Structure 1
């Protein structure tokens, strides 16, 4: 039985999620003050409180966020009944600090603040400064009756308290201390993970052959100086971590990007050719490989997160909610995707007609397209009718192949590596030009609508909103990688830089669907693409440009493994389309507030889960909370923290006369 005269809470993880729980506990406590009730909050994290692991303030300025300054916040600004004690998104903080910087900001922080605007992309180090500043202000301004203690160490085990003990749990720390707790919040964030079988084979083979293999990692955890210069290095993965790796091996070694000057000393402004790379001579030859053969598409330069010129018409929150009337669970492929597909088509062709009217050979094209897309019900045959209309009115080069956007080289064969390099460079230049065009680019507007649709999907699929087979086969099976490659990319600057690196011969591209191996005859890693008819590329070094797998059963966390072993947690299991059970990536939890479900199948009172380990209950949870969010999913993580805080403090509130 929890003693309502005083509560002890341990938050394991003091990064953004842990900071959010702290903020909600303070705000809710302050809204129902009673000096007889004491709240003791302990935060446990080996990394500095606020930034946590990923957002450390001492990391390279080359590591950029993939959201602009106006986007992220750790402080709620809507959707919650209890107001915050501190009001500042990152952009609010940035504006203030640009004018009146805090004394503890570094010279690099101040320099970045001077040049960063609301639409620019901050470094992760600067966002870490915001998180640290916010955390410090919260602790310093904590209401009377609350004690906050920070333990900069690792939690290694959580065990149940003895039946006669006053507290439910005991949290064991790596430094030997033990914390008694009535409630524990798991805000664990990114955890180390075991390698998958393919990665393990490469790692084992590398050891036997004397090769260097860098497994998936948080980029700032790696000493990139150990990668030798002047020789090839294979880099697998061309998502966000890829750009971090490339930056450290180029600019991070003294190379620089200069503006490309036209005759007459005028800077080239056309996308994809605006920069020249001047090598330092210490770079390796980067051999870049990924399944799609190309990097994520970059983000356009927009004043808002979702484009202002297009919007969701068919895949709205209201339409989606109607699908679930009567407790029915819609399917992703058959119910959700067709609606979102229509929105993408409408956004693309509406923008095409506005920006390039000569590309459409029919005056009433949009009217006819609207009639087809707006057919009531499922509109059987609508896709065929759209195809027929487009075939009659739009040249092949301007037609939208939506699924093909994520696989730009699908079914194309290349005779040499040089031919494929040239194709990728053309792709990079086209994407950079599209970013510059912003709301006048049809492809970027179609992607913008898909990104907005992603926000609606997050609302629908949370907490069992779709069937398990749809989650596994549709949402996670194909749509997740599809939308990430289109809408989760880096700033447009990265396309310009990568194109310059390609022209300079510092980066080369392997080709789609690469196959990696180790040749024991000459002791090298090898990689070959079935679509590039050339000899395998070879290197003695290989980097996995990936984050550690977010899979609870692949983790290498002593704490999480202990929770699973002790029966205080278990992974969520879903049933696939073939009727077979599938162990999913996240923990099984109760309905909000998310309590861990133990081996018995019952929720564990007082043990809460927040963040990445909810990946089988919510979708797309890695992204930060959104300031002034347009969709409810934009502040869902803050709402989760609020519900946990409300539940923790319920004994106190109910005890107030």
Structure 2
């Protein structure tokens, strides 16, 4: 474990990050090794402060109250025949099959961490006797070396660098330094003795400063809020009973939560797929992406890409409605499909067709209304807002667990399909990722039922949409209000930003990424590391791929739809891992045949 240099005739790879993405790359490396590299000796270094497999997010050392946001049957680390890849398919068990779980349950994160550790150990065994794997429980500080020569990888706490023929960055989600707004809020809190928790991983936050019974303003209504909610209620001794009632411990603060939309992410869908699947992709597939890439000007996401995605989602929705619920339509599917294909994306012709073919407006897909559920909705008081949002959440739960609304599941499949096409177009920006998460990556239904119980118990209070947080210097307090109850403000001595830090190569707390950026690695305007969409090689500011540096995961422009892949959905992350592994092994094979000096 302590060696820093391989033997002179041994090729060497450094994988930075040994969580799910690093483990996935290792699995593809093992799968492709016999074909592309044979039984030549190879040394693989995995560098991560956290144990391999689970990494930071899925480590064993976290609260057992924290769940996955996916059902056990919807999580796999293994390829199947639906994945388009050049390497061999190596099937394996889903999380449910491996752990012997009911597929419809939402496992704890510790259970997922154990599954990932098993996958990692299986991948290491599959590498064979010619491959030596060395683990380093530390961080990488920087990578140097010539483009055409061996790379030098400096580790925290070690004087001598590792030397490697190539480096793979699989860093996962990263911490970031606060932006200007967060620094101002922190300074305000320090001046007045307040509590301000900036964007961070909720499971890693010290929540002890949030006092029992005291109001806490929470900005953010996504998955980070759900973790916060659990840790500050059940985590402080409260209890949910079987009747749906919450019994407080008396140690909970009062959470006043709001966001841009003012509502939580949509519940996970609580039923499986039955019958014919929509034939996806249809309007946003490789041909459409190729046309966009061939245009004279770089495509703009909202102008050029989003209309095609919206048409794809509409196709998935109506295909399901016509084929599974034909009694709620007024036209033959073949006629609708022909006219829908001919209509312009999102134009009046398409709207008129849908109005004629789908009598009930509730059966029509309105993406704008979905994205802004409280637009124009005003409540006369805060108490009326509480009642209104409890009704909204209850209706969402009912719909997402009712197969009569299975067109929602078809839209989910459409979102996955669209996400799989995007890496070739570069980073679509934060709006798309937020919209996708809101519709497709929400919390388990039981969590929203707990949220309703906490609202009834007065432990959670809703602030509504278009949340504004201000610093009141005279009063020495934070105050928050929104559009849902005009003129009503909530005051508190604590503010929590319930969201992950935005990716930023300039503000990241990863010294490795900061150094790469200083040395010429390209970044998008939204702070992501630019990579070649084909094989994940890191691009410089001139657009040149680095021959010996690869990057995969959420800090790159080729990030995938979620942390894990649902079985039999094509798995874009698997495709990316496979392409990168094959490119890496091809490089190593060519270097073995034609050595190049360091």
Whole-angstrom CA distance in 1 between matches of 2:419 and 2:232: 36
Q: Tell me which residue corresponds to 1:124.
A: 109
- Residue 522 of structure 2 is aligned to residue 555 of structure 1: no
Contact 2:217 2:495 (8 Å CA) reproduced = yes
- The alignment status of 1:571 with 2:532, answered yes or no, reads no
Cα drift, residue 242 of structure 1: 0.9
Deviation at 1:247, TM superposition (A): 0.7
Tell me how far 1:293 sits from its aligned partner: 0.6
Counterpart of 1:491 (choices 428, 444, 448) is 444
- The answer for the alignment partner of 2:44 in structure 1 is 41
Q: Check conservation: 1:283, 1:506, Cα contact below 8 A.
A: yes
* 1:424 maps onto 2:389 in alignment: yes
User: How far off is 1:47 after superposition?
Assistant: 0.7
1:489 and 1:34 mapped to 2: Cα distance? 43
Candidates 352, 374, 378, aligned match of 1:385: 352
How far apart are residue 39 of structure 1 and its match?
A: 0.8
Mapped contact 1:62–1:123 kept (Cα < 8 A)? yes
SS, match of residue 554 in structure 1: coil
Spell out the pairing of 1:218-367 with structure 2 (5 A cutoff). 218-260=201-243, 275-304=244-273, 312=280, 314-315=282-283, 317=285, 320=288, 323=291, 332-333=301-302, 336-342=305-311, 344-345=313-314, 364=331
- TM-score when normalising by structure 2: 0.87
Pick aligned residue for 2:26 from 22, 38, 56: 22
State which drifts further: 513-522 or 170-179.
Answer: 170-179
Could you give the per-residue CA deviations for residues 153-188 of structure 1, whole angstroms, max 9, x where no partner exists? Answer: 11112222799xx83324333344521222111111
Superposed displacement of residue 644, structure 1: 4.0
Q: Distance in 1 between matches of 2:109 and 2:495?
A: 25
CA distance in 1, matches of 2:474, 2:436: 41
Offset at 1:408? 1.5
Give the TM-score normalised by structure 1. Answer: 0.80
Write out per-residue CA displacement over residues 272-315 of structure 1, whole angstroms, 9 at most, x where no aligned residue.
xxx111111111111011000101111111225x9856555853
What is the match of residue 147 of structure 1? Answer: 132
1:213 alignment partner, SS class: strand
Cα deviation for residue 464 of structure 1 reads 3.3
1:440 maps to 2:440: no
How many residues end up aligned between the 2 structures?
Answer: 587
The offset of 1:357, in angstroms, is 8.2
Query: In 2, distance between residues paired with 1:651 and 1:325?
Result: 31
- Structure 1 625/349 Cα, relative in aligned 2: closer, same or farther at 3 Å? closer
* Deviations 1:75-125 (CA, angstroms, capped at 9, x unpaired): 3334444447x752433xx43443xxxxxxxxxxxxxxxxx3123222221
Q: State the match for 1:623 in structure 2.
A: 562
C-alpha displacement of 1:600: 6.4
The Cα of 1:223 is off from its aligned counterpart by 2.6
Tell me the secondary structure at the aligned position of residue 526 of structure 2.
Answer: strand
Distance 1:292 1:367, change over 3 A: same
Match of 1:159 in 2: 144
Looking at structure 1, the residues matched to 547 and 326 of structure 2 have their Cα atoms a distance apart, in angstroms, of 61
The counterpart of 1:375, out of the listed 342, 363, 367, is 342
How big is the shift at 1:399? 5.5
Alignment of 1:41-80 (within 5 A): 41-78=44-81, 79-80=84-85
Distance change (3 Å), C-alpha of 1:502 and 1:370? same
Structure 1 regions of 5+ residues with no counterpart?
99-115, 261-274, 466-470, 573-582
Distance 1:595 1:366, change over 3 A: closer
Q: CA, structure 1 residues 366+43, in 2 after alignment: closer, same or farther (shift >3 Å)?
A: closer
CA contact (8 A) 2:28 2:578 kept: no
**How many angstroms apart in 2 are the aligned matches of 1:160 and 1:321?**
35
Please name the residue that 1:106 is paired with.
none
